[in-house]
Structure 1
Amino acid sequence: MPSAPLSPTDRTTATRGRHRMVDDRAALHALLDEALVAHLGLVVGSGAEAHPLVLPTAYAADPGGPDDGGSLYLHGSVAAGWLAPVLAGEVCVTITVLDGLVAARSGFHHSMNYRSAVVVGRPRLVDDETERARALDLVVDQVVPGRSATLRPHTRKELAATVVLALPLAEASLKVRGGGPVDDEADVEAGVWGGHVPLRLVAGEPVADADARDVAVPSDVAARATALGAR
């Protein structure tokens, strides 16, 4: 059964490079499953003191979550200064995987290959204890799949110190660029080299903490390193 298409609004529709937009919710889910860092954009302060702020953060996505279109989970400290502004209005979250550097035959056409999602909406505070604990487990598993099942449960103190937000995935868009440069014909005929340099995230071998040097690397961490190309 095909995945439901994305339905970008005016806020999530590209004004340039529309041919790179991907109207496929399954492709959005695949990107969210692969990437590791989200950037949360919001406005803090008020009046003349208002200013934009963009924060990198770990995240997790649950396509079957309770929010419209699924749930994008973000977490932070209950004492974070950005918490009140986030809950008071709408935010923008971007998630990008860089796939290559595009070396064109002119500076104008140099570019990058990427997969990039934009999610816009009003987040909600996750106050249900079961959902909050599950969301935090999903954030852990986004970093190392399967890791949360090997750890002790979250303590009440940890849960009390941590805030979890859920952003609906309904208002989202996805853009993808791949391949080589799109050069002017005259530049191609001039014989200058053009092409692209593929990029990928590569892990090193797991490094044990000083207190764990006599403990074998767990299978979840070893599998994650192997999946990311560790030799």
Structure 2
Amino acid sequence: MASTFEPTDRTRVLREPHRGIYDRGAIYKILDEGFVCHVGFAVDGQPYVIPTLYARVGDAIYFHGSAASRMLRTVSEGVPVCVTVTLTDGLVLARSVFNHSMNYRSVVALGKAVLADDPAEKREALRAFAEKILPGRWSEARQPNEQELKATSILRLPLAEVSGKMRTGAPLDDEADYALPVWAGVIPLRLAAGEPVRDPKCDASLPVPSYAAHYKR
């Protein structure tokens, strides 16, 4: 497997091309950090964009839902999709409103998703979802039974036509604006976990698992 994705006419970054990312490892790192992707597709000329949980396994990403889901039924029929993931890393405050920006990392993946029918593949995808949400949870919580597996559709999107984009660093002001008496800089942003809140129906004698009590992103 090549260490980089070959840019295509559809994935080549045209705006600020120096921010483009094609390195497979860097792109996979972004995908592994995110929780939610947006799946774009069109039906009879009407575009839809649906947010959903995803997980990467090897050189593919999986998303899942009810077997009755319109998105999953439509996409499984071979409709082309555009899947995006965005991580927001900071607010970039410039001296002019025009030059304000954000530091971010993003990925765009194009292709056709296929239905994962093999029970072993479905179970492995569901394990990946659980472990992505909270590493260690799959081995402790009850795992899906046969009825739940049948009620769940899982789609696999091979990662073949993919690119990323990233902005980092300080604001970029017009040269004349650097002398303005206006504070400028970056406000870093990150996703932070709060204190675990016990389910009222949870046995009070059960301790909070270590992986939950010390969870960090």
- TM-score using structure 1 length: 0.88
Instruction: Name the counterpart of 2:32.
Output: 33
User: Which of the residues 142, 145, 148 maps onto 1:158?
Assistant: 148
Instruction: Name the counterpart of 1:217.
Output: 208
Please list, as runs of the form range in 1=range in 2, the aligned pairs for 1:1-231 lying within 5 A after superposition: 4-44=3-43, 46=44, 50-63=45-58, 70-87=59-76, 88-212=78-202, 213-223=204-214, 225=215, 227-228=216-217
Q: CA RMSD in A?
A: 1.6
Aligned residues of 1:43 and 1:85 also touching (Cα < 8 A): no
CA drift at 1:105: 1.3
Measure, in 2, the Cα distance between the counterparts of 1:25 and 1:192.
40
Aligned residues of 2:83 and 2:108 also touching (Cα < 8 A): yes
Unaligned 5+ segments in structure 1 are: 64-69
CA drift at 1:179: 1.0
Percent identity, aligned pairs only, is 47
Aligned residues of 1:73 and 1:167 also touching (Cα < 8 A): yes
CA drift at 1:150: 1.5
CA drift at 1:190: 2.7
Letter in structure 2 aligned against 1:78? A
Letter in structure 2 aligned against 1:37? V
Per-residue CA deviation, residues 187-214 of structure 1 (Å, 9 max, x unaligned), is 1123432211000111101111011133
Aligned residues of 2:37 and 2:84 also touching (Cα < 8 A): yes
Measure, in 2, the Cα distance between the counterparts of 1:107 and 1:190.
13
Measure, in 2, the Cα distance between the counterparts of 1:206 and 1:154.
24
- TM-score using structure 2 length: 0.94
Greater share of strand: 2
CA drift at 1:8: 2.3
Unaligned 5+ segments in structure 2 are: none
Greater share of helix: 1
Aligned residues of 2:64 and 2:72 also touching (Cα < 8 A): no
Name the count of aligned residue pairs.
Answer: 215
Measure, in 1, the Cα distance between the counterparts of 2:205 and 2:35.
29
